[in-house]
Amino acid sequence: MAECKNMYINGEWVAAESKETLEIVNPANGESVGTVAFGDEREAGKAIDAAHEAFASWSRLTARERSKYLYTLSELVKKNRDELAEIITLEMGKPLIEAKGEVLGASDNFLWYAEEAKRVYGETVPSSVPNKRIMVLRQPVGVVGAITPWNFPVNMVARKIAPALAAGCTVVLKPAESTPLSAIRLFELIEQAGFPKGVVNLVIGKPEPIGREFMDNPKLSKIAFTGSTRVGKLLMEGAAKQVKRVSMELGGHAPFIVFDDADLDEAVKGLFESKFRNSGQMCICTNRLYVHEDVADAFTEKLVERLKRTNVGDGRTKGTEIGPLVNQRALDKVLEHIEDAKEKGAQVVYGGKQLTEGEYAKGYFCEPTVIVGVNAEMKIAQEETFGPVVPLIRFRDEDAVIQQANDSRYGLAAYVYTRDNQRCFRMAEQLEYGIVGINDGSTTQTQAPFGGFKESGIGREGGRYGMDEYLETKFVSFGL
Ligand code: NAP
C-alpha cells in the first residue's frame, strides 16, 4: 500500500513516523472510504515546533496581510463546497444538504474573521497622574492547539482556526479520528491559499499522546477544544500545570419548553430542527422536551405526524432528513437511553428501535423516536443522548419548569416557545444557558457568541467574541 502522507506539518505532507494508518468507514453502510496516516506525540511535537517558529513572522504581519489569506481561503472553501460536503457525508453520515450548509458556514467564518482581523483595537486609558500615559494592546496568545469533534468536521475547525489566524496566532489542529478526510481536504485548500509554512498544521492520530503533548509542550500557549465534557476536563487539568489558556466548547443537554399559548406548528418545526438535525448529534440538541399539560397531547400528535413523513437513510440519497449515527458506540448509547427510560416506566409512542433491514442493514440507523412519561431519574433526562430521541415531560407551572430546565450540570442551549412577550423576557433572563432560542429552534449564526454556562464550557466562539479567546491584553505604562 502506498504510504499515507496526509498530515500537514511545516508546509509538507507527511506520514506517521510510526507508519501506522487508520481506515475511515462510512457509517451508512460500513464501507471503507479511505485510509489516513495515524500519528502521535512525535508529529504533534514537530507541528508545535513549526507553529512556534512561524509565529514570529505571522504575528508581525499587518492585520490586512493576514486578512488576505483568510479571504482567499473563504472563497476556496465556497468554491469547493460540493466536494467538501460529499466527504463530510461519506465519513460521518449527515444528509448532503446539511453538509453543504456546514461548508458554507465554514466559508462564512473565514470571511467574518478576515474582516474582524482588521478590528483588533487597543485602547488608551486616562492616567491618574500627569506624567504617565496608559496604553492597552491586544496581542495574539501564541501557538494554539485545536482539537475538534466529528459532528461538524469542517465548521468546527473553521471556528477555531479562523479567529486564531486572524488574531495572529499559529495553529496545530487535531481533528476527530472518525472524520480526518474533510480536514485533509480543507488543509489542501489552506495550502492552495498560500499560507506561509508552519502557520497552520494538521496532525491526525492517537488522541491521548497528542493531547498530552499539547498540555506539556511549553511552546504551545493555548488549547481550544470542542468535544465532550469528560475530555474537556482532562485537558483543563493538564493545561493548568503551565497555566495555559483554554477555551472549551463542551457537552449540552438542552431543554425545549412549549407553553400552552405557543404556536404548536412552529414549535414542532423548531423542535425538529433542534432535535433531528445531524441525527440528533449536536451539542445544542434538545435533550428534554417540556410541554404544558394542556397542549401536550396535541403537540405529541403533531410531532408524530411530522416524524411519519421523515426520511431516514443514507445522507447521499436525495430527500434524506436523518442519516445514520456516527458509529456502533453512538447507536448503543441511544438504544440504552431508550431501554432505560422504558424500564423506568416511560412509553415509546413513536419509533424506539434500531433500523436493520434492507438499506439500513450495514449502517448505524435508529428510528426517530418519541418517548412520553419521562422523569428526572431516567438517564435520558440527565445524560447527553446524542441521537434522534425526544423525551417528553409534561409541566403545569412556569416557575417549576424554569427550575427543572436549570437543574442540569450543562448550560449550553435552551429553547422556549410562547406568544407571551413578557414571558419571553422572563425566560431569556432566567434560563441558565449560554444560548436561548425564543421561538427559534435553529439559533447558530457566525456573528453571534456561541458557548455554554456551567459544565458546557468556558469561552465563546463566533463574531467579535471569538477573537477575544485568541488575544492577550497588555498594559503599557509610558512615563513622560
Ligand atoms: P470527544 O470524545 O470528547 O472527542 C472530541 C475530540 O477530542 C476528538 O478529536 C477526540 O479525538 C479528542 N480526544 C478524545 N480523547 C482525548 C484526550 N484524552 N486528549 C485529547 N484529545 C482527546 O467528543 P466527541 O464524541 O467526538 O464529540 C461529541 C461531544 O462534543 C459531545 O459531548 C458534544 O456535545 C460536544 N460538542 C460540543 C460543541 C460545542 O460547541 N459546545 C460542539 C460540538 C460538539 P478522537 O476522535 O481521536 O477520539
- Whether 291 and 191 share a structural domain: no
469 lies in a domain?
yes
110 alpha carbon – ligand 1 mean position (Å): 22
328 lies in a domain?
yes
Whose alpha carbon is nearest atom 47 of ligand 1?
177
In this prediction, residue 289 carries a pLDDT of 98
> Mutation test of ligand 1: which of 22, 228, 244 has the most ligand atoms closer than 8 Å to its C-beta?
228
In this prediction, residue 65 carries a pLDDT of 98
In this prediction, residue 454 carries a pLDDT of 98
Whose alpha carbon is nearest atom 17 of ligand 1?
208
Ligand 1 pocket, residue 459 CB under 6 Å: no
Ligand 1 pocket, residue 203 CB under 6 Å: no
Which atom number of ligand 1 is nearest to the Cα of residue 227? Answer: 30
450 lies in a domain?
no
232 lies in a domain?
yes
The DSSP secondary structure of 345-386, one letter per residue, reads T-EEEE--SEE-SGGGTTS-EE--EEEES--TTSGGGTS---
C-alpha cell of residue 61: 504581519
Contact 175, 183 (CB under 8 A): yes
- Whether 68 and 117 share a structural domain: yes
Grid cell 422504558 is found at 342
73 lies in a domain?
yes
In this prediction, residue 1 carries a pLDDT of 52
Contact 228, 251 (CB under 8 A): yes
- Whether 220 and 350 share a structural domain: no
DSSP β-bridge partners for residue 458:
248
- Residues serving a catalytic function are 249, 283
C-alpha cell of residue 363: 449502517
- Whether 287 and 195 share a structural domain: no
List C-alpha distances in Å: 43 to 2, 8, 39, 150, 174.
19, 10, 6, 21, 11
The DSSP secondary structure of 167-231, one letter per residue, reads HT-EEEEE--TT-HHHHHHHHHHHHHTTPPTTSEEE--B-HHHHHHHHHH-TTEEEEEEES-HHH
Give, as one character, the DSSP assignment of residue 46.
H
Q: CA-to-CA distance for 167 and 470, rounded, in angstroms?
A: 6
In this prediction, residue 2 carries a pLDDT of 64
1 lies in a domain?
no
- Whether 241 and 287 share a structural domain: no
How many structural domains are present in the chain? 2
Which of helix, strand or coil describes residue 47? Answer: helix
Interhelix angle 155-167/63-79, rounded to 10 degrees, is 160
Q: Residue 439: is it exposed, middle or buried by C-beta count within 10 angstroms (0-12/13-18/19+)?
A: middle
DSSP β-bridge partners for residue 413:
435
CATH number at residue 333: 3.40.309.10
Grid cell 434524506 is found at 320
Ligand 1 pocket, residue 237 CB under 6 Å: no
> Mutation test of ligand 1: which of 24, 231, 246, 329 has the most ligand atoms closer than 8 Å to its C-beta?
231
Which atom number of ligand 1 is nearest to the Cα of residue 248? Answer: 41
C-alpha cell of residue 343: 424500564
Ligand 1 pocket, residue 153 CB under 6 Å: no
C-alpha cell of residue 98: 446539511
391 alpha carbon – ligand 1 mean position (Å): 24
- Whether 205 and 320 share a structural domain: no
CATH number at residue 198: 3.40.605.10
C-alpha cell of residue 88: 463530510
The DSSP secondary structure of 262-315, one letter per residue, reads S-HHHHHHHHHHHHHGGGG--TT-EEEEEEETTTHHHHHHHHHHHHHT--BS-T
202 lies in a domain?
yes
Between β-strands 21-25 and 32-37, what pairing exists: parallel, antiparallel or unpaired?
antiparallel
List C-alpha distances in Å: 13 to 17, 36, 203, 393, 437.
13, 12, 10, 52, 43
Grid cell 438504544 is found at 335
> Mutation test of ligand 1: which of 283, 284, 384, 443 has the most ligand atoms closer than 8 Å to its C-beta?
283
Which atom number of ligand 1 is nearest to the Cα of residue 456? Answer: 41
Give the range of the structural domain holding residue 117, as residue numbers without chain letter: 7-250+456-479
In one-letter notation, the amino acid at residue 437 is G
- Whether 31 and 174 share a structural domain: yes
Ligand 1 pocket, residue 458 CB under 6 Å: no
Helix (H) / strand (E) containing 100: helix 96-116
In this prediction, residue 3 carries a pLDDT of 79
- Whether 191 and 101 share a structural domain: yes
- Whether 221 and 259 share a structural domain: no
In this prediction, residue 325 carries a pLDDT of 98
Regions in the chain scoring below 70 on pLDDT: 1-2
Which atom number of ligand 1 is nearest to the Cα of residue 150? Answer: 26
- Whether 216 and 302 share a structural domain: no
In one-letter notation, the amino acid at residue 164 is A
Between β-strands 369-372 and 365-366, what pairing exists: parallel, antiparallel or unpaired?
unpaired
102 lies in a domain?
yes
- Whether 412 and 276 share a structural domain: yes
- Whether 93 and 55 share a structural domain: yes
